[in-house]
Amino acid sequence: MSTVGTQPDVEGQRLEHFGYPQVLHRAMSGVRATMVNVSTSSVTTGVFTLFAYGLVTGGTSFVWTYAIGFVVLLMVVLMFSELGSSMPIAGALYQWNSRLVGPRYGYFTAWLYVASQIAIVGAVAFGFAPFVASLFNVTLSVHGQELVAMGIVALCTLINLLGIVIASEVAAIGAIAEVVGMLVLTVVLLVTGLGHQSAGVLIHQDGLPPHSSFLAAGLAAMLFGCWSYTGIEMCTDMAEETKGASRVIPRAGITSLTITFAAGMVVLIAAVLAIPGSIAKTFGSANPLQSIIVGNTSTAFYKVIMVVVCIAVFVCTMDNQALTARALFSQARDGKFPFARQVQHVPRSTRVPAVAIILVGVMACVMLLFTSAVSVIATASITGLFVCYLMVIWAQLIQRLRGRWTPHVWSLGRWSLPVNVLAVGLATALTLNLAWWRGTAPWYDRYSGFLFIAGAFLVAGLYYMLGGAEARRAITLHPLDREGAGAEGAVVHGR
């Protein structure tokens, strides 16, 4: 029996009921889990890395895509809260789908999810590199940006290897820094930028060519609207390291998403209203957000904000690597990844999935060698991630309608089914919009989302066919057939 201090570890016992021993260090409190989730989603990362994309693509009214993204992802988080509280297991999406539908369905979910999250780690680090360089008044070439991004990933790997206590403390510092930093920036821009632009710019697509389609521009800008909300499942992926995970997961997920929305929405509105002088001039700037901040304050203030941004985006990269490593560890623990025995290794000294952490870092660095467009990486990875979300909530809805699954720990009650339907409809529309081909870029850029998903499924299929008989047995083994596994009310019955 696992213990924490002298008290029985109820969550550890429950994990054993799912067929797994408690090998990771269950050390995070509810407050710490919430702060880790805030720093993983990271409003600062979304605002500062893709502000120029959102403004140039959607005009000044692009800020409302952030609110739309919040509504859609809130529906998804509510559904994840029901699942996560019922099945608090590392590698959440993979584990849920394996139990809701079956082992093969969960297997393909796992491969796509891990691939998407590795790409997100690389994309965030790549987008972060210029901000680091700006602190030293250095302009990076594409190759230089790749090298700095690799250095960032390497440092994140080292911190994650030190253990969950140290990594979560760093994440907490990042969460506090970015929320306080965004509030300070909002107040400063509202005070110094008062009267620069009228409130009308928030409902008009100022800056875009005349007669631009409002709907088309808004849909194209939705990448910005949902980029900050990636990582909403962090607290569920870290469930095996969270005290009272079943109780904490809904609270941490909903609270962190709301904080991310509130902090981001106010700073976006303040930034657009504070555009100094001509909107066209800001559009023509290489870094529109920098132009807005410097134009209203000073270069020195911008440098201070950049320090906060660097802390927040670094922690975001580190947290995304951590959650990806837990998903990979969970997949390897079930024998559904090459060299599974080595990948699932957890040193006794740190009790973190060390090999999985290193492997995620290496693969993110390798990915950085093959692309130089952060928007392409972001589109491909976020499309893949959202398809994983869809695979979960569609399975959840279908099994709910068939009477084979009901939440039994945390639930929305009579609102559960309507919210599930709404989540499926909105998230499906959002995902199709993100993956939709637009513009005149090369075909492989325009279809990057589809190509990414197909590539992940192809690799998963090849391993299934070529991995050998032992790998195929592991891939087809139902979670309920694991030694010691029990069937709670949260899993599918009558399979």
Neighbour-count burial for 226-237, b at 16+ CB within 10 Å, e otherwise: bbbbbbbbbbbb
Q: Is 46 in contact with 224 (CB distance < 8 Å)?
A: yes
DSSP single-letter state for residue 3: E
What pLDDT does residue 400 have?
A: 95
DSSP single-letter state for residue 7: E
Average pLDDT over residues 22-43: 88
pLDDT in tens, 229-259: 877 788 888 999 999 999 999 999 999 999 9
pLDDT in tens, 52-87: 888 888 888 889 999 999 999 999 999 999 999 999
Is the pLDDT score of 489 beyond 50? no
What pLDDT does residue 4 have?
A: 38
Please state whether the predicted TM-score (pTM) of the whole model is above 0.95: no
Q: Is 319 in contact with 171 (CB distance < 8 Å)?
A: yes
CA 183 to chain centre: 22
Q: Which of 186-190, 207-211, 288-292, 306-310 has the lowest mean pLDDT?
A: 207-211
User: What is the percentage of the chain residues whose pLDDT exceeds 90?
Assistant: 53
C-alpha 95/C-alpha 176 separation (Å) is 31
Higher pLDDT, 141 or 105: 105
